[in-house]
Amino acid sequence: MRNQLTILFALIFIACNAQSSKDTEIWEPVPKKVYSSSDSSAPDDAIVLFDGKDLSKWKAKWGGKESEWQINDDGSVTVVFDGTGGIQTIENFGSVQLHLEWKTSEDLSHKLQDRSNSGVFLQNRYEIQILDSYDNPTYVNGQAGSVYKQHIPLVNASRKPGEWQSYDIIFEAPEFNDDGEKTKSGYFTVFHNGILIQNHVEILGTTENVGPPKNIAHGDAPISLQNHCCTQISFRNIWVRKL
Ligand code: MG
């Protein structure tokens, strides 16, 4: 009888402690269904910032007027060097996934930082460089795909002048406390033409051309596209998803 009880208790013990695959299954919350018809079109939960028709989601960076960048018949927009600093979204954003496509000029009369230089700024402060870096050596922390003056791209994924290229950017916004101190760094992950070029790199502060990065407290802010100089650059198919 004692042996039978011992076996019974052992079986109960095993039954109570046996692990099951169900122990580690998580069923809720269920991720929301989102549909995208291709890997570059805006998913159905995205905010389309430029669809080829107009710049109604944007304004000039300096002066706040409507942008005069040139809308083209092929659904792209070309930078006009009008001294307005570029364009910025009317809406403010925090952490986002951002898709944009850009094309550098086949006019090779300029070089270095003057060849189709633009840039996409998250929160108007943190620049991923846009530049013709196909055959245009420059300082590598300022070539296409760099977090400007902070992080060199892992590889140079640049296409030839005149060919459309894409950026897919994951931006984690920095956080600040009420005393203006940074409590959490921001991060960038960037794919250039589908190739990983920035792998969750820490944003050290504002991407300054001169001097070290700055860390002045801020909240959500516009996404902006730079109007630098010299040779043309065009954009198309720009959309963003809030994270
Ligand atoms: Mg730039």
d(CA 241, CA 98): 6
CATH number for the region 44-242 comes to: 2.60.120.560
At 108, is the pLDDT very low, low, confident or very high (cuts 50, 70, 90)?
confident
Residues with CB under 5 A from ligand 1 (ion): 117, 119, 129, 226
| Cα 44 to averaged position of ligand 1 atoms, centre (Å) | 30
pLDDT of residue 215: 97
Q: What is the pLDDT of residues 171-219, one digit of tens each?
A: 999 999 999 999 999 999 999 999 999 999 999 999 999 999 999 999 9
pLDDT higher than threshold 70 for residue 12 = no
| Cα 216 to averaged position of ligand 1 atoms, centre (Å) | 21
At 11, is the pLDDT very low, low, confident or very high (cuts 50, 70, 90)?
low
Q: How far is CA 191 from each of CA 98, 146, 195, rounded to the nearest angstrom?
A: 10, 11, 5
| Cα 132 to averaged position of ligand 1 atoms, centre (Å) | 10
Q: What is the pLDDT of residues 31-54, one digit of tens each?
A: 887 787 778 999 999 999 999 999
pLDDT of residue 106: 84
Q: What is the pLDDT of residues 122-174, one digit of tens each?
A: 999 999 999 999 999 999 999 999 999 999 999 999 999 999 999 999 999 99
| Cα 193 to averaged position of ligand 1 atoms, centre (Å) | 18
pLDDT of residue 228: 84
| Cα 144 to averaged position of ligand 1 atoms, centre (Å) | 8
> What is the average pLDDT across 229-236?
89
Amino acid at 65: K
| Cα 147 to averaged position of ligand 1 atoms, centre (Å) | 10
| Cα 105 to averaged position of ligand 1 atoms, centre (Å) | 15
| Cα 154 to averaged position of ligand 1 atoms, centre (Å) | 18
d(CA 233, CA 105): 6
Contact 127, 233 (CB under 8 A): no
More confident position, 2 or 122: 122
Q: How far is CA 118 from each of CA 102, 231, 241, rounded to the nearest angstrom?
A: 10, 10, 22
Q: What is the pLDDT of residues 56-67, one digit of tens each?
A: 999 998 887 888
| Cα 225 to averaged position of ligand 1 atoms, centre (Å) | 9
Contact 121, 178 (CB under 8 A): no
| Cα 188 to averaged position of ligand 1 atoms, centre (Å) | 16
At 6, is the pLDDT very low, low, confident or very high (cuts 50, 70, 90)?
low
**23-27, 141-145, 183-187, 229-233, range with the lowest pLDDT:** 229-233
Q: How far is CA 114 from each of CA 87, 117, 118, 136, 236, rounded to the nearest angstrom?
A: 19, 6, 9, 10, 21
pLDDT higher than threshold 80 for residue 20 = yes
| Cα 86 to averaged position of ligand 1 atoms, centre (Å) | 11
| Cα 31 to averaged position of ligand 1 atoms, centre (Å) | 37
| Cα 20 to averaged position of ligand 1 atoms, centre (Å) | 54
| Cα 229 to averaged position of ligand 1 atoms, centre (Å) | 9
Extents of the domains making up the chain: 44-242
pLDDT of residue 236: 97
pLDDT higher than threshold 80 for residue 4 = no
pLDDT of residue 207: 97
| Cα 180 to averaged position of ligand 1 atoms, centre (Å) | 28
